[in-house]
Amino acid sequence: MDERGLHRLIGTIIDPERLSDDCAVIPCGDLLMVASTDMLHETTDFPAGMTDWQVGWMAVAVTLSDIASMGAAPGQVLLAVGLDRPERLAGIMTGARDCCTAFGAELVGGDLDAHRELTIVSTGLGTVRPEHIARRRGARPGDVITVTGPLGEAEAALAGYEQHRKELLEPQPRVAEGESLGRAGVSAMMDISDGLALSLYDLLAVNDCGFAIETARLPLPAGVPEQEGRELALHGGGDFELLFTAPADILPVPGVRTHVIGRVIPERVVLADGKPLERRGYLHEWGG
């Protein structure tokens, strides 16, 4: 079973609507608060060769990316560190603080424990006006399908393309872009951390329409052969770009780099170049 199958199980215990976005949404006076938490483990989430500073940066970046996908402004971050060696803590916390500072958040506390394997849980809070929040649900036939930048760069680095090492180890959440897109009125949005194909299927699960993309329009990782780059862009994990749908007439959005890759269609399918797109990407899985 994979993590999305387990999400369906959780949806039989709590309101499944709570599980349909990158963040939980909580009323907060005249605003909405969005909240996200991410757990990362050394062996599965932190590529070999990372510095402790980069580990801390990435732990925060994954959470800020979720907040960005809701069109929200980041506020506070809490970091719980299951630490394998005490001498790593200073570097991790400095990287986490620096990522917060770079994107307008504040590292305000957390928890510390001893673990055999380095494990970090990052929890982030953000706020957004109700009229500007972006949800996964809301795509409409005729909307364009758009991404904010090249896809497959992190996976390219893992495949040996060293020019993309920084994208892998020091990802840049699209915080300002997310806020701008929310204010502009996108119809649906999420981040692409598990790969474009899986993300399109995630949108399919909560919308009453489908998604058709053209692979020739995908922004590919530079310096990678085209066929390989297209495969990485479709199915590689670790990207921190945003995937959104929107009426074509709101584009371009000032200050946001956008690449239109397809169109929302009435049929509830995911197509690439007119054929069903394989549902494959980065998934946590359990055997048995």
Residue pLDDT, tens place only, 261-278: 999 999 999 999 999 999
pLDDT at 19 over 80: no
Of the three residues 92, 111, 130, the one that is the final residue of a domain is 130
Residue 117 sits in the same domain as residue 169: no
Question: How many C-beta atoms surround the C-beta of residue 196 within 10 A?
Answer: 28
Instruction: Report the pLDDT value the prediction gives residue 286, as an integer from 0 to 100.
Output: 46
> pLDDT band at 21, cuts 50/70/90?
confident
In CATH, what number is assigned to the domain containing residue 140? 3.90.650.10
CA distance 288 to 285: 10
* 200 has pLDDT over 50: yes
CB half-sphere exposure, 92, CA atoms < 13 A? 23
Say yes or no to pLDDT of 5 above 50. yes
10 Å Cβ neighbour count for 106? 13
- Dmax over CA atoms of the chain, in Å, equals 55
Domain C-terminal end among 82, 114, 130: 130
For residue 78, the domain's CATH number is: 3.30.1330.10
Query: Domain check: are 268 and 140 in the same one?
Result: yes
- Tens digits of residue pLDDT in 153-194: 999 999 999 999 999 999 999 999 999 999 999 999 999 988
For the cut 70, the answer to whether the pLDDT of residue 11 exceeds it is no
Number of domains in the chain: 2
For 288, other C-beta atoms within 10 Å of its C-beta total 3
Q: How many residues does the chain have?
A: 288
215 found inside a domain: yes
Cα-trace Rg, the chain:
18
Q: How far apart are CA 164 and CA 251, in angstroms?
A: 28
**Does 206 share its domain with 268?**
yes
Domain that holds residue 165: 135-276
- Domain edge (last residue) among 113, 130, 147: 130
- Predicted local confidence at residue 182, as pLDDT: 98
Quick check: 51 pLDDT over 70? yes
